Chain A
Amino acid sequence: MKYFITAFFICSSILGIAQDKSFLNIGFETNSQWYVNDNRTGKFTAGNALRSNSYLNVNYNYDHFTMQVQFESYAPQALLNFSPNFTSSLNIATFSVNYETDKFNSTLGYFYEQFASGLIFRAYEDRQLGINNAIFGGLLHYKPTSFLSLKGFYGKQRKGFDLSKGHIYGINSIVSISEILKLKNSALSYEFSYVARYQNSVKTNPKFNKTTGAFSNAFHFNKNTFYSNIEYVYKKKDALVKFENVFDNRLFDGNALLFNTGFTYKNFSVDATFRRLENMTFYLNRNVNQNIFNDQRVNYLPSLTKQQDFSLANIYVYQSQPQLAFSPSGKSGEIGYQIDAFYKFKRGTTLGGKYGTQLALNYAIWYGLDAIYDLDNRTYTSKYLSFGAKYFSDLNLEIRKKWSKKLTTLSTFMVIYYNKELLEDNFDQINAWLFLSETSYKLTNLTSIRVKIEHLQTPNDSKNWWSASSEVYYKDISFYVSDLYNYGNTNDAEKIHYYNFGGSYSKNKSRLALNYGRQRGGLLCVGGVCRFVPRTTGYSLNFSTTF
């Protein structure tokens, strides 16, 4: 690996002479935490109290060549609840060489890629969640004509600073039907993908196939403001896994159906998605099926609900339920849909006012599959287009209004149903109502203030919450204070003020943020994938820059 780095610098120095054709971009990011003892959130006993995750990524581009190397450091330890695979104090995490022209693109080394909607394959990076499932190997992309795209790859998956034992390979082709038929006003394409994972087994003569393949067929259509996509996936039979136990006498296949459509008419737009997943978890190592660190995932199955960046809206958050399980209760997947509607009241109308008013409505509802389970023998039969037990629903209305050059408001109302009993194998079913109001006011050209108030009301679980925050901006500096309080909790020990205060400073290509406070603990979700974070108190520092 040292040779690679040396070669990297020598090559780029030589090529650097011809600067017009070269591009160098270096990014550095560090996220550090100093966990402290707090009599309300508890003593910190989990090893190193000062921890940091740092990333240094170098991209060098010369003409059609790109070289990339990423260093990562988890010193003295990775932040709490990151995968134990992130161990190194400083090491090379990924590196690659890429050659790209209009027709041809090839990568050797680590690469990221996604086929169709990711239902069978997505390799990506998310630093907040500690996901980096880049593939180490080769990727080829060839576009022989304007209507055909072909991709193929082979490799192993990144696992911390190591590689997976199993192998993965796949092909993808996209045919533009509208281009073949020379349709001018619409776009129609067909996409086929196949991905297979090969994993040896410790068992001699296991009853399952060591190679597990998954097929995807998708159509994408687009005409004027109307669009529609459909994808069907079939995953071949593989062994049932529970807590790393591989039941090689219980083999199940999986499948998925995704349908999305939408259109725009004048000020009104609508988008609807239906999805059904049955036994669709797919990992490079079948033994780590459903591990809490999101290690070795092959596909991407986000929950299809509205993603919120407000604090109380993230208490009852839905995670997709693609898995097959026979204990404590039978589960085989999820079925449901999501609808979004947007409407803009025009300027100058009664409801639009001087600057217009935006309405956004989201409704999502998800159920388990309608299936009959034989829990003792671990078998089941499911119905296809039929709804089982209700898992989750969420109705969400958002009004965004600019009143004047200085004043903007955002109001959200949510009705949530969360089946904790089935989703967390716990008890209680939760009905909750959430109200949120955010007001931004520009005091001068350089100074502004934003105040946010949230209230979550529920007769169930830990009862009512409120939250309030205020942020002041001056030029590139901001300061904030916030508090989150479970005032309705019947247990006084749980009535904790989760206060936070801090600030951030952005200058050119750098951003520094400092914070002190209490973290509620629970699920931290990015893009519908979640990581559990524990309840803690401490200081945090985030710094990012590019040069």
Chain B
Amino acid sequence: MRQLPALIFTLLLFSATYAQSLPYISLKTLENKGFQIKLLEKEPLVIISFWATWCSNCIYELDEIKELYSDWQKQTGVKIIAVSIDDYRTISRVKPFVKSHQWPYKILLDTNQKLKRALNISNIPEIIILKKGKIVYQHSGYTPGNEDAIFDILIQNIQ
């Protein structure tokens, strides 16, 4: 157990030399087509939101952002990608759920948690803001009002 803090410290120092970008991972869209995550590096500003149909706070957050999304797009050009981590138990619910909530987001399916694992996400909801593929903000959990903090970050990162 004593080795663990030492190990973490080493890795912290080691990671300080890295700017984070995106892994080479392909996920399925709702239309069952492949979508390469690496391609998001070309986008000026992207929000990736990890969610699931059984996650109440995720739904609060994405419903809330829906109201603001068109304003955000006009002002910052941001694109939102909602990555569902529903596995086979609940995956069939994703499509009707998204339609009924009329979410305007691009939906990707991370059925066996490939992207979730690559980005080391432990709790959902989790929001990641990417500027040309580099992580500029990451936040786990949703507290009402969090969308204002997200908007501030977006404004800071427009060119």
Q: How far is the CA of A475 from the CA of B22 in the complex (A)?
A: 29
Candidates B88, B123, B148; contact of A300 at CB < 8 Å: B88
Which residues of B in the span 1-41 have a Cβ within 8 Å of any Cβ on A? Answer: 1, 3-4, 7-8, 11-12, 14-15, 17-25, 31-33, 36
Q: How far is the CA of A528 from the CA of B92 in the complex (A)?
A: 14
Candidates A64, A360, A473, A527; contact of B100 at CB < 8 Å: A360
Q: How far is the CA of A27 from the CA of B122 in the complex (A)?
A: 8
Interface extent on B, as a size class? 35 or more
A25 adjacent to chain B (CB < 8 Å): yes
A461 adjacent to chain B (CB < 8 Å): no
Binary interface encoding of chain B residues 47-89 relative to chain A, with 1 for a CB under 8 A from any of its CBs, else 0: 0000001111001100100010000000000000000000111
Binary interface encoding of chain B residues 81-105 relative to chain A, with 1 for a CB under 8 A from any of its CBs, else 0: 0000001111011011101111000
Q: Is the CB of A89 within 8 A of B1?
A: yes
Candidates B14, B18, B25, B36; contact of A9 at CB < 8 Å: B14
Q: How far is the CA of A327 from the CA of B24 in the complex (A)?
A: 50
Q: Is the CB of B96 within 8 A of A271?
A: yes
The residue in chain B whose Cβ has the minimal distance to the Cβ of A146 is B34
Q: Is the CB of A473 within 8 A of B145?
A: yes
Binary interface encoding of chain A residues 105-148 relative to chain B, with 1 for a CB under 8 A from any of its CBs, else 0: 00000001110011000101101000000000000000000000
A253 adjacent to chain B (CB < 8 Å): no
Candidates A189, A473, A544; contact of B123 at CB < 8 Å: A544
Across the interface, which residues of B come within 8 angstroms of A29, CB to CB?
Answer: 122
Q: In the assembled complex, how far is the CB of residue A362 from the closest CB belonging to chain B, in whole angstroms?
A: 9
Q: Is the CB of A66 within 8 A of B113?
A: no
Q: Is the CB of A340 within 8 A of B93?
A: yes
Binds B, one of A192-200, A201-209, A238-246, A505-513: A505-513
Q: Is the CB of A189 within 8 A of B32?
A: yes
Q: Is the CB of B1 within 8 A of A73?
A: yes
The residue in chain A whose Cβ has the minimal distance to the Cβ of B63 is A402
The residue in chain B whose Cβ has the minimal distance to the Cβ of A76 is B1
A220 adjacent to chain B (CB < 8 Å): yes
The residue in chain B whose Cβ has the minimal distance to the Cβ of A122 is B112
A236 adjacent to chain B (CB < 8 Å): no
Q: Is the CB of B113 within 8 A of A57?
A: no
Q: Is the CB of B95 within 8 A of A25?
A: no
Binary interface encoding of chain A residues 267-278 relative to chain B, with 1 for a CB under 8 A from any of its CBs, else 0: 111110100000
A504 adjacent to chain B (CB < 8 Å): yes
B157 adjacent to chain A (CB < 8 Å): no
A22 adjacent to chain B (CB < 8 Å): yes
The residue in chain A whose Cβ has the minimal distance to the Cβ of B55 is A309
A232 adjacent to chain B (CB < 8 Å): no
Candidates B36, B56, B96, B111; contact of A114 at CB < 8 Å: B111
B139 adjacent to chain A (CB < 8 Å): yes
Q: How far is the CA of A113 from the CA of B148 in the complex (A)?
A: 38
Across the interface, which residues of B come within 8 angstroms of A473, CB to CB?
Answer: 143-145
Q: Is the CB of A23 within 8 A of B21?
A: yes
Q: Is the CB of A344 within 8 A of B100?
A: yes
Binary interface encoding of chain A residues 533-547 relative to chain B, with 1 for a CB under 8 A from any of its CBs, else 0: 000000000001011
A395 adjacent to chain B (CB < 8 Å): no
Q: How far is the CA of A93 from the CA of B14 in the complex (A)?
A: 21
Q: In the assembled complex, how far is the CB of residue A346 from the closest CB belonging to chain B, in whole angstroms?
A: 10
Q: How far is the CA of A342 from the CA of B25 in the complex (A)?
A: 32
Q: Is the CB of B95 within 8 A of A269?
A: yes
Binds B, one of A165-173, A426-434, A438-446, A515-523: A438-446
Q: Is the CB of B138 within 8 A of A509?
A: yes
Candidates B11, B118, B137, B143; contact of A475 at CB < 8 Å: B143
Q: Is the CB of B4 within 8 A of A302?
A: no
Across the interface, which residues of B come within 8 angstroms of A302, CB to CB?
Answer: 87-89
Q: A269-B96, A271-B93, A528-B89 are in contact. Are A440 and B22 (CB under 8 A)?
A: no
The residue in chain A whose Cβ has the minimal distance to the Cβ of B90 is A307
Q: Is the CB of B8 within 8 A of A59?
A: no
Across the interface, which residues of B come within 8 angstroms of A270, CB to CB?
Answer: 96
Q: Is the CB of B99 within 8 A of A273?
A: no
Candidates A113, A360, A410; contact of B112 at CB < 8 Å: A113
Q: Is the CB of A506 within 8 A of B139?
A: yes
Q: Is the CB of A262 within 8 A of B144?
A: no
Q: A262-B92, A304-B89 are in contact. Are A358 and B100 (CB under 8 A)?
A: yes
Q: A59-B118, A122-B112, A304-B89 are in contact. Are A54 and B4 (CB under 8 A)?
A: yes
Across the interface, which residues of B come within 8 angstroms of A58, CB to CB?
Answer: 11
Across the interface, which residues of B come within 8 angstroms of A24, CB to CB?
Answer: 14-15, 18, 20
Q: Is the CB of A475 within 8 A of B138?
A: no
Q: In the assembled complex, how far is the CB of residue B100 from the closest CB belonging to chain A, in whole angstroms?
A: 3
9 A-B residue pairs with Cβ-Cβ distance under 8 Å, sorted by A, are: A23-B18, A24-B15, A26-B11, A27-B120, A271-B92, A273-B92, A340-B93, A340-B96, A546-B120
What are the nearest 6 A-B pairs in CB distance?
A27-B120, A269-B96, A342-B100, A302-B89, A448-B144, A544-B122
Q: Identify 13 new A-B residue pairs, CB closer than 8 A, beyond the known A24-B14, A61-B118, A473-B143.
A: A23-B20, A24-B15, A61-B21, A66-B24, A122-B88, A273-B92, A304-B89, A344-B102, A358-B101, A446-B145, A475-B145, A511-B141, A527-B90
